[in-house]
Structure 1
Amino acid sequence: MKRNFVHNPWKAVRLGLASAALAVLALTASAQEQHNNPNVRLGQKAVLDGDFKSAVTHLQKALPTEANDPDVQYLLGYSQFQNGDFPKAVESFKKVITLDPKNVSALYYKAKANNNLAVSNTSGLSTVAKEQLLKTVIDDYTKALGITPNDAKLYQNRGVAYRDLGILVGTAGTKNYDKVAATAAYKNASTDFEKVLSYDSSRKDIQTEVKKVNVYRESLK
């Protein structure tokens, strides 16, 4: 990305996994940064304003000349994600990862977008396609953990993906029912949730998730 000074505040945005709010706050710190491309500048401002629809419009206009800039592709994917356009967000984050393979935040959001698609009742995906998608989600979180192995948020979200996979393949009567695979998925989910608790044992939400997956596993037929 072409900038007028050396400091790279975008790194804070890429690493802001905790919430969309953190990412926007990190980006606010770089609001005075002037990109040479006016459409990128307009896209930045739109993100800061929470106008993600306009951000997508401006950033897409910038792509003919900025297609190889992972930061621009990241902001586009992030805006698409916030708009709920998960298929397009996935494609944008794929491009970020191609350009910047160790971009943990791109792996995180790509996985999260795919997880949303896999559990959606309106995605039009078959149960087999959803199963494959959840396996991709788990793989992306695992890759991210290979880069930042102590990130509780990654363990938490991978645990959710394992749980969702267990529910999908552990529902009797479905085309892809597989008790063995469901048992393994629930066990892995429990392991990841326990890992989160090792960082913060007071997490009531995660304690509840551990109880849920254990009940799910014990209820398999």
Structure 2
Amino acid sequence: MNLRFVYNRLKSMKLGLVAVALAMTTLSAQAQQEEHRNPNVRLGQKALLSGDFKGAVTHLQKALPAEANDPDVLYLLGYSQFQSGDFKKSASSFDKVVALDAKNSNAFYYKAKANNLLAVSGEEKLNDAQREQLLQLSIADYSKAILINANDMKLYQNRAIAYRDLGILKGTPGKAVHSKDVATDAYNKAIADYEKVLSRDAARKDIQTEIKKAKVYRDNLK
């Protein structure tokens, strides 16, 4: 199975097993292309496309360090780690991808999303300053992705979520990182990003609801 084909399929995917199933249905002629030279990469591809993300992680990690300079292999690893719920390692893998391929907006997207999920996860033993740092990093990476692909509305929508989460963190009284001004600015930027998405699809009821909620949160800051 051709690595570039699998990689390109994942780049166009939305999150979830449905997308993996879609990729599996389109492997016909392309699957007959030259396979990757590394057997662990081939096993990782096979596991990933069957929805066995943890198995894919195991095989792809074994392909390192031999493939440590191949952004495609690192992308597959980061994607598999993300789908396995290991957001910290996923962010690290995608960080390596963008170091090798600075124009990869999808890698910035997954890196940003992984860090956002880490920041709001109650399972991670992080203090509020560390959570704020992760949210700021997430916002920065979404912004980098937008510079590369300004027409991808999911980037604005997810950056809005990161801004909203930052607003919640900074706007909570009693926290060491509390700042009404920073929280207000974060909510305003979240609203602006949501409105950008709504400008492309005015029928998005979910986005309309998020804008209303962000305005309520902002207007009730103490």
After TM superposition, the score normalised by the length of structure 1 is 0.92
Q: 1:60 to 1:97 in 2, by over 3 A?
A: same
The one-character-per-residue Cα deviations of 1:19-70 (angstroms, maximum 9, x if unpaired) are 2343663475354441111111110000011011110111111112111110
Identity across matched positions, percent = 59
The one-character-per-residue Cα deviations of 1:75-101 (angstroms, maximum 9, x if unpaired) are 001111111011111111111111111
**Equivalenced residues, count:** 217
1:38 aligns with 2:26: no
Which residue of the partner structure matches residue 118 of structure 2?
A: 117
Which residue of the partner structure matches residue 63 of structure 1?
A: 64
Secondary structure, aligned partner of 2:158: helix
Q: CA RMSD in A?
A: 1.9
1:139 aligns with 2:152: no
Contact 1:31 1:45 in 2 (8 A): no
Q: Distance in 2 between matches of 1:163 and 1:69?
A: 35
After TM superposition, the score normalised by the length of structure 2 is 0.92
Gaps of 5+ in 2: none
Contact 2:183 2:218 in 1 (8 A): yes
Contact 2:112 2:141 in 1 (8 A): yes
Which residue of the partner structure matches residue 209 of structure 1?
A: 210
Which residue of the partner structure matches residue 177 of structure 2?
A: 176
Contact 2:7 2:76 in 1 (8 A): no
C-alpha displacement of 1:122: 1.5
Which residue of the partner structure matches residue 91 of structure 1?
A: 92
Q: 1:67 to 1:50 in 2, by over 3 A?
A: same
Contact 2:11 2:106 in 1 (8 A): yes
Amino acid at match of 2:81: Q
Q: Distance in 1 between matches of 2:6 and 2:41?
A: 15
Secondary structure, aligned partner of 1:53: helix
Amino acid at match of 2:88: P
Q: 1:44 to 1:24 in 2, by over 3 A?
A: farther
Amino acid at match of 1:160: I
Which residue of the partner structure matches residue 199 of structure 1?
A: 200
Contact 2:7 2:75 in 1 (8 A): no
C-alpha displacement of 1:3: 5.7
Which residue of the partner structure matches residue 15 of structure 2?
A: 19
Q: 1:205 to 1:186 in 2, by over 3 A?
A: same
Q: Distance in 2 between matches of 1:23 and 1:60?
A: 20
Which residue of the partner structure matches residue 47 of structure 1?
A: 48
C-alpha displacement of 1:8: 4.8
Contact 1:14 1:104 in 2 (8 A): no
Q: Distance in 2 between matches of 1:176 and 1:83?
A: 31
Q: 1:23 to 1:191 in 2, by over 3 A?
A: farther
Q: Distance in 1 between matches of 2:140 and 2:21?
A: 27
Q: Distance in 1 between matches of 2:87 and 2:32?
A: 29
